[in-house]
Amino acid sequence: MQSHQFIVSLLVLNHSGVLTRVSSLFSRRAFNIDSLTVGETEDPTLSRMTIVSWGDDYMKDQIVKQLQKLQDVKKVQLMQSDQIVVRELMIVKVRLDKGQLPELMEAVHAYRANVVDLSPSSMAIEITGETVKLNAFLDYMRQYTIIEMTRTGPTAIGRSTYCLE
């Protein structure tokens, strides 16, 4: 079977230890987590986890079945790529050499990014979008000196009436 990337979305109880139990499940079965985002939902008793992983259909099914067995997990759903909106946040700090500000600002505008910090020696740029857009921006920024970079990893929500309930 062919291995491919997939996104699993979970609604879990919002209390300590849940993240450990979910990540331990992956670890015990030697499944890799490429990305994991967690945040409180509109209901403060629940958190939403978005997990990105790679595997074949058997592995996907096993992950879903094992996650559904966890007591703190209220809902598990494999997200269908054609029915979701996926976004990621990245902040990149680049060294600002004399005369580079105009060309960096041009890149910021072209990629629809935002400057979130500016000093005489550096610029911090925030960008959101699909992973391919962020990767392209990062590739472009490599011609400058990247001082520091951080990414959230993808998070996803259903389009229209496609919901995790």
The pLDDT score that the predictor gives to residue 165 is 64
If asked whether residues 116 and 136 sit together in one domain, one would say yes
Listed range (55-59, 124-128, 138-142) with the worst mean pLDDT = 55-59
CA–CA gap between residue 163 and residue 110 (Å, rounded): 32
CA separation (Å) from 72 to 1, 13, 23, 36?
31, 5, 13, 17
Listed range (11-15, 33-37, 134-138, 161-165) with the worst mean pLDDT = 161-165
Average pLDDT over residues 22-37: 89
Residue-range definition of the domain harbouring residue 148: 85-156
- Into how many domains does the chain fold? 2
The pLDDT score that the predictor gives to residue 2 is 77
If asked whether residues 9 and 73 sit together in one domain, one would say yes
User: Is the pTM of the predicted complex or chain greater than 0.85?
Assistant: no
H helices of 42-142, in order, are 57-69, 101-110, 131-141
- State the pLDDT confidence band at 26, using cuts at 50, 70 and 90: confident
Strand ranges of the sheet holding 46-55, from the earlier edge strand across to the other edge: 35-40, 46-55, 4-13, 73-78
Any domain includes 165? no
Q: What are phi and psi of 78, to 5 degrees?
A: -75, 125
